Amino acid sequence: MALGFGSILLNAVLITRYVLPGVQLTADGEPVADFSAAVQQQKFPNPSIAGGNSNVIHGTFDPQRMHGPLGLNPDGTPAHVPAPPPPPDLHMPAELARGGGFNLQLSDHLPLDRAAPDSRHSACKTLQYDLSSLPAASVLMVFYNEPFSTLMRSVHSVLNRTPPSLLHEVVLLDDGSNLPDVAAKGNGKLQQYIELLPKVRLVRSPRREGIVGARLRAIRAATAPIFVVLDSHIEVQDQWLEPLVARIQEDHRRIVMPQVDGIDAETFEHIAGGIGCKLGFLWQLMEHSYESHQMQRLPREEQQHGPTDFQTSPAMAGGLFAANKDFFFSIGAYDEGPNIDYGVDTLKQRQEWRKQHNCKSFKWYMENVFPEADVVHLDDVPYLGTLENKGSGLCLDSVGRASPGGRPSLAQCAAGHATQEFMYFR
């Protein structure tokens, strides 16, 4: 399950932690202590606070089902029944292709409610938050043809592990899906099921807008001051939301993102670790974890941060972040223009917006926000292209071994072939 890449780069990104690539979320680096202590500071919510068909039994509290049992019919029977297990001779490559990158038959077999390991640093588990003082947030999931099981497992996970006082709503934004289970003109399965869930509402795009346009539509639909963008195939861990909203409460100008862990695409096992909390980007503008030599270029105080300290980051993974809604739009939000017919007029509008708001230049950004980059100025790379042996007519080729120590070879020259493109650093 691949991560999306955000089209904006921010100079004040703060890291907390959750988990995902198909994913799970966890508040690592910024968490709350054992939730039993925090829960004592909050009265158990009544059904009116939980909203919708919460099926809450007043006076009881299950920290793994914070919004009560989910997805139950009026007679108490489950509205969703998992599919039979996949066959032992399942052809995995074909299944991954059919499932959009993951084992769909296994996903359909797994329950929508399942336990998630707590992979936080031990120091994170000693932190406590006063839930009564923290702001609530709208959780937003944009999807296009997301299978029902992964989408609803994501929603169940958020409802199960988010304190009711912090969860204002879950907004599902359908960007023109045509899969029968989730499409507007499908079999009605999604719409019927979410009617059995508290705080969940479905918004349909009138047309296919793409990830940026759809995400903006979801953010505009959010009714809480803080919104949290999540992918539609995630699972959250305990105390995932508290550190996010706490950082924004401290300073509404913070764009907060998590560490991203993973879920195995074939086995759906949770995997600790991920792309890291400190992100830059490569020459192709793809987000990338800081490498060891870049970490060594950081000021000493940033190299010696504690396990519960937040970090600043020059870039962010676009699929998971939280922000104050008003502040997000005050700094330009997403650029709605990048699409097939992106024209000069649209570009001029963004340039004019930058002038009106006295935005810094990209040169300033590289020198002040991302000075640890291997390429800060274009002059740092005087030569870029292929290396051809004029005698043999062959070109140097990395053969996909671009890491330090990899051995290149000679191959037939191929224009535009990525493995034959080399950069010379001054």
pLDDT in tens, 156-183: 999 999 999 999 999 999 999 999 999 9
pLDDT band at 77 (very low <50, low <70, confident <90, very high): very high
Q: Is the per-residue pLDDT at 326 higher than 60? A: yes
Which CATH code fits 13-313?
Answer: 3.90.550.10
Top pLDDT among 249 and 374 is at: 249
Q: What is the pLDDT of residue 317?
A: 81
pLDDT band at 226 (very low <50, low <70, confident <90, very high): very high
Q: What is the pLDDT of residue 45?
A: 34
Least confident among 156-160, 225-229, 259-263, 356-360 = 259-263
Q: What is the pLDDT of residue 213?
A: 93
Q: What is the pLDDT of residue 245?
A: 97
Spell out the SS3 assignment of the chain: CCCCCCCCCCCCEEEEECCCCCCEECCCCCCCCCHHHHHCCCCCCCHHHHCCCCCCCCCCCCCCCCCCCCCECCCCCECCCCCCCCCCCCCHHHHHHHCCCCCHHHHHHCCCCCCCCCCCCHHHHHCCCCHHHCCCEEEEEEECCCCHHHHHHHHHHHHHHCCCCCEEEEEEEECCCCCCCCCCCCCCHHHHHHCCCCCEEEEECCCCCHHHHHHHHHHHHCCCCEEEEECCCCEECCCCCHHHHHHHHHCCCCEEEEECCEECCCCCCEECCCCCCCEEECCCCCEEECCHHHHCCCCHHHHCCCCCCCCEECCCCCCCEEEEHHHHHHCCCCCCCCCCCCCHHHHHHHHHHHHHCCCCCHHHHHHHCCCCCCCCCHHHCCEEECCECCCCCEEEECCCCCCCCCCCEEEECCCCCHHHCEEECC
Q: What is the pLDDT of residue 16?
A: 34
Q: Is the per-residue pLDDT at 259 higher than 80? A: no
Question: Each residue of 299-325: pLDDT tens digit?
Answer: 888 888 888 888 899 998 888 999 999
Q: What is the pLDDT of residue 32?
A: 29
Q: Is the per-residue pLDDT at 80 higher than 70? A: yes
pLDDT band at 337 (very low <50, low <70, confident <90, very high): low
Q: Is the per-residue pLDDT at 6 higher than 70? A: no
Q: What is the pLDDT of residue 44?
A: 30
Q: What is the pLDDT of residue 243?
A: 93
Q: What is the pLDDT of residue 60?
A: 58
Q: What is the pLDDT of residue 248?
A: 98
Q: What is the pLDDT of residue 343?
A: 60
Question: Each residue of 14-73: pLDDT tens digit?
Answer: 333 333 323 333 333 333 222 223 333 333 333 223 333 433 444 456 888 999 999 999
Q: What is the pLDDT of residue 412?
A: 94
In the chain, domain spans: 13-313, 343-373, 381-424
User: What percent of the chain has a predicted confidence (pLDDT) above 90?
Assistant: 60
Stretch 262-276: mean pLDDT = 89
State the chain's mean pLDDT as an integer: 83
Q: What is the pLDDT of residue 35?
A: 26
Q: Is the per-residue pLDDT at 227 higher than 80? A: yes
Q: Is the pTM of this model over 0.95?
A: no
Q: What is the pLDDT of residue 119?
A: 86
Question: Each residue of 393-414: pLDDT tens digit?
Answer: 999 999 877 677 788 999 999 9
